[in-house]
């Protein structure tokens, strides 16, 4: 995979998703409404408690809500079945016959997609949130830098997980199983519904070691300064590498099966 090809793929991924203007706009509206609602509920919870919960005061919990909503796009929480679709239509064989590396191809494509979602959706959504409610904003410049690095790693970690789950479709009869499981796991374990810090401490510790933590709550923790940035970034990197490697071996198994079955 040459640098030139990689750049082209990223650009194409970006462009492809940029054309869905109406859908992007609609998603933004939906996420903004959810941001307002979930924010209201979290605020009510903190007010009822009378004190911050697990280190989350009002500005921090609102930042959590709006960040989580803003990350839905780039981290692809709900929509991630491109590869699975190509498997189900039988196009996988043609894709594997290409001279470029399959996993790297989709990786670059995903970076393009995530960049588009980030620039044309997340930034706007978050800005709207910041304008409407009083959100916590990190004071130090390095924290912002660490956050963006963490965000990039979250995208990659999410990709590597999605890659595996999509490929698993190859081994099942009905494509819906692995994808449904993936959505369930990522919504449940990544901290999308409620901050992981709210869970009982033992459970929170377990969840923070899992790959899904790297996808949503991890970057948020870096942003809020609730946990060490270095440790989180390292965890994200490790999981990304591990999952990418796992993805490659599963891909190897699938390709060998394809060859045997004759595509």
Partner 1 sequence: MTDAWRLWRLMVGAQVRAQMQYRTSLMIEASTGFAVTFLDFIAVLVLFQHIHALGTWSLPQVAFLYGLSGVGFALADLVIGHIEDLSELIRSGRFDVLLLRPVGTLLQVVASDLAIRRLGKMFQAAIVLGWAISQLDIAWSLTRVAMCFVAIGCAAAIFASIWIAGACIQFFALGAGEIANAFTYGGNFASQYPVSIYGPWVRRFVAYLVPIAFVAYFPALAILDRPDPLALPHWLRYASPIVAGAALGVAMAIWQVSVRHYRSTGS
Q: Which of 144, 183, 206, 258 binds partner 1 (CB under 8 A)?
A: 183
In eight-state DSSP terms, residue 137 is -
Structure tokens at 203: 């459970």
Is 38 a binding residue for partner 1 by CB under 8 A? The answer is yes
Measure the CA–CA gap between 261 and 90, rounded to whole angstroms: 12
CA angle 101, 159, 129 (to 5 degrees): 145
94 binds partner 1 (CB under 8 A): no
Q: Which is nearer to partner 1, 188 or 230 (CB)?
A: 188
Instruction: Return the residues of window 10-29 that contact partner 1 according to CB under 8 A.
Output: 20-23, 25-27, 29
Could you tell me if 198 and 60 are in contact, meaning their C-beta atoms sit under 8 angstroms apart? Answer: no
Q: Which of 8, 15, 16, 37 contacts partner 1 by CB under 8 A?
A: 37
> Contact with partner 1 (CB under 8 A): which of 8, 57, 97, 188?
188
User: Does the protein bind partner 1 through residue 255 (CB under 8 A)?
Assistant: no
CB 163 within 8 A of CB 103: yes
Contact map string, positions 113 to 152, toward partner 1, x by CB under 8 A: ----------------------------------------
- Select from 7, 15, 16, 49 the one that contacts partner 1 (CB under 8 A): 49
- Contact at 8 Å (CB) between 242 and 162? no
Torsion sign, CA atoms 79, 82, 88, 89? positive
Cβ at position 62, least distance to partner 1 in Å: 13
- Touching partner 1, residues 219-238 (CB under 8 A): none
Cβ–Cβ under 8 Å, residues 127 and 34: no
Alpha-carbon span 36 to 240, nearest angstrom: 32
Q: Residue 54 or 130: which CB sits closer to partner 1? A: 54
202 part of the interface to partner 1, by CB under 8 A = no
The stretch among 63-71, 158-166, 177-185, 207-215 that binds partner 1 (CB under 8 A) is 177-185
Cβ(233)–Cβ(157) under 8 Å? no
Q: 3-state class of 56 per DSSP?
A: strand
* Angle in degrees, CA 120, 14, 160, rounded to 5: 105
Give 20 or 171: the residue with its C-beta nearer to partner 1.
20
Choice from 44, 234, 238, 253 touching partner 1 (CB under 8 A): 44
Q: Does 40 bind partner 1 (CB under 8 A)?
A: yes
- φ/ψ region of 55 (left if φ > 0, alpha if ψ in -120 to 50, else beta) reads left
Angle (nearest 5°) at CA 23 between 38 and 10: 105
Q: Given the rule CB under 8 A, which residues bind partner 1?
A: 20-23, 25-27, 29-30, 32-34, 36-38, 40-41, 44-45, 48-49, 53-54, 174, 176-177, 180-181, 183-184, 187-188, 193-194, 198-200
């Amino acid at each position: 995979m040459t640098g030139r090809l990689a750049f082209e793929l990223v650009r194409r991924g970006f462009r492809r998703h940029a054309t869905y203007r109406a859908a992007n706009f609609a998603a933004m509206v939906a996420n903004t409404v959810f941001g307002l609602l979930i924010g209201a509920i979290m605020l009510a919870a903190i007010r009822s408690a009378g004190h911050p919960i697990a280190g989350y005061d009002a500005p921090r919990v609102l930042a959590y809500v709006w960040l989580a909503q803003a990350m839905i796009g780039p981290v692809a929480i709900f929509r991630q079945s491109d590869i699975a679709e190509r498997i189900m239509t039988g196009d996988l064989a043609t894709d594997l016959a290409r001279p470029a590396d399959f996993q790297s191809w989709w990786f670059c494509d995903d970076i393009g997609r995530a960049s588009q979602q980030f620039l044309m959706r997340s930034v706007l959504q978050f800005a709207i949130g910041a304008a409407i409610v009083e959100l916590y904003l990190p004071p130090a410049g390095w924290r912002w830098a660490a956050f963006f690095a963490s965000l990039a790693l979250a995208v990659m970690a999410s990709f590597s997980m999605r890659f595996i789950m999509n490929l698993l479709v190859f081994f099942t009869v009905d494509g819906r199983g692995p994808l449904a499981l993936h959505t369930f796991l990522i919504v449940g374990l990544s901290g999308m519904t409620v901050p992981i810090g709210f869970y009982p401490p033992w459970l929170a510790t377990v969840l923070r070691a899992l790959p899904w933590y790297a996808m949503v709550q991890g970057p948020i923790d870096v942003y809020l300064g609730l946990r060490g940035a270095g440790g989180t970034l390292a965890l994200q990197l490790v999981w990304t590498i591990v999952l990418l490697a796992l993805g490659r071996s599963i891909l190897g198994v699938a390709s060998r099966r394809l060859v045997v079955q004759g595509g």
